[in-house]
Amino acid sequence: MKDIHLPAEWAPQDLIQVAFPSMDSDWKNYWDQVIPCYVNILKVIASYQPVLVVCNDADAVRYYLKDINSSAIFLVEVPINDTWTRDYGAITIQTKEGFRISDFIFNGWGNKFVADKDDKVSSFLFDLGIFNTSDYKQIDLVLEGGSIESDGRGTLLTTTNCLLTTTRNPHLSQQQIEEKLKNTFGLDSVLWLENGHLEGDDTDAHVDTLARFCDADSIAYVQCADVNDAHYIGLKKMEEELKQFKTLSGQFYRLIPLPMAEPVFAPDDGRRLPATYANFLIMNEVVLLPVYNCSSDILALQQVQKAFPNKKIESVDCSALILQHGSLHCMTMQFPKGSINWDVLRKFSLDSYLP
């Protein structure tokens, strides 16, 4: 093994981290819709593996979770701005000595939103001793977890639209960012997508909304078949880019097209929302697929099953999540097996909060 290794999402996991909404966030206008959605998602995840829930108010959250399998839920009270854990959660790197908690700068997707509390969540959890390592490193780079995809073998997939925005790392060129990624993650190759973007996406084209590694040789991606759709040209160009990408061994990737979700619009201003099936979550035994109560859900389920023939595929209604322009992968972060200090985490079991 290399001295530094960024595990793929399908590597064995200890748990999934989720951040629970609060009334102090932008969710307040959709509270009655988002809470049942979050509770259902947590119930599904906890039926397969443990979940670390970070939240502003543990007493409030335990009320909503009272009917969930409490033995699989761990509740940590920590100040947060928002719920998109994927983008501010720690990125765990494997080293020869164990694990390194890599804490990148999170500036609210290029200073679009207040993120001062979210940016400190990982250091807060580290100080509590929740991670099974003393190797914690703050990285001088603005980077969100949803903006990168690892194949677990030294290749990273990302987008220029996101990483090269002037509101993230304006002092760095593409070459400098690539070198920093390679040095930080122990990479051999960075694949840059220059096309593809979803309307309503606040992330500047996070790759986890567009194209995802399913194994080291396969990529699932959003395909738009409607020539009249505003996404058609951009996603067609992205598809052509993907067809040219090669693995480190020189082979073209097996490409699995995912349908474009039927248009979903915001109820307040009518803007199109970035509903995408690429925002699935890979877990130990199952892949959770976000669905949006539309006819394209069925084809998406079939295609994701093709991408993961040896895993169970379970659909999860994310209609409420998309109201705040995110989905299932955006609200979660996985931690590799062996990276969690269970002796410490057990102190935060939901059982200890319940009467």
pLDDT at 14: 98
- The per-residue DSSP string of 25-91 comes to SGGGGGHHHHHHHHHHHHHHHHTTS-EEEEES-HHHHHHHTTTS-GGGEEEEE---S-S-HHHHSPE
pLDDT at 152: 96
Q: What is the pLDDT along the chain (355 residues), one digit of tens a residue?
A: 578 999 999 999 999 999 999 988 889 999 999 999 999 999 999 999 999 999 999 989 999 998 887 789 999 999 999 999 999 999 999 999 999 999 999 999 999 999 999 999 999 999 999 999 999 999 999 999 999 999 999 999 999 999 999 999 999 999 999 999 999 999 999 999 999 999 999 999 999 999 999 999 999 999 999 999 999 999 999 999 999 999 999 999 999 999 999 999 988 888 999 999 999 999 999 999 999 999 999 999 999 999 999 999 999 999 999 999 999 999 999 999 999 999 999 999 987 766 5
H or E element, residue 108: helix 108-111
Beta bridge partners of 222: 258
Q: Helix (H, G, I), strand (E, B), or coil: what is residue 2?
A: coil
To the question of pTM greater than 0.95 for the whole model, the response is yes
Q: Which domains does the chain have, with CATH numbers?
A: 4-353 (3.75.10.10)
